[in-house]
Amino acid sequence: MDTNQELTIMELVVNAGEGRSFAMEALKAARTGDYEKAGDLVKKSEQSIQNAHKSQIDIISKEAAGEPFPVSLLMVHAQDHVMNAMTVLDLAKEMIQMYKMMKGE
């Protein structure tokens, strides 16, 4: 694995981790009734996860063009972070709506 591949993997981990963290912060904001802040944090989460997705697309595009990308434990770990972040964001969006409904908003 070369340095560029390692950097791509780290971009996946960093962006996914940031996306997950923003989604969790959004839930905390919604729990206290700060839906504007929650909405802003959801947007930040979506952007971070989109950045991770761009890295995934780059890997897939290169591999489709014949440039193999080795599947290492680090790569599997990175993909795990991305999928986890996507799941947390989806659940956060639903839970924010639930908070609003519970408070009659």
Residues marked active site are found at 77
Distance in angstroms between the alpha carbons of the first and the last residue of the chain:
51
Rounded-to-integer distance, Cα 99 and Cα 80, Å: 28
Q: Which of 73, 23, 28, 26 is nearest to 52 (CA)?
A: 23
Using CA atoms, how far apart are residues 57 and 40, in angstroms rounded to an integer? 26
Helix, strand and coil content of the chain, in percent to the nearest 5, comes to 85, 0, 15
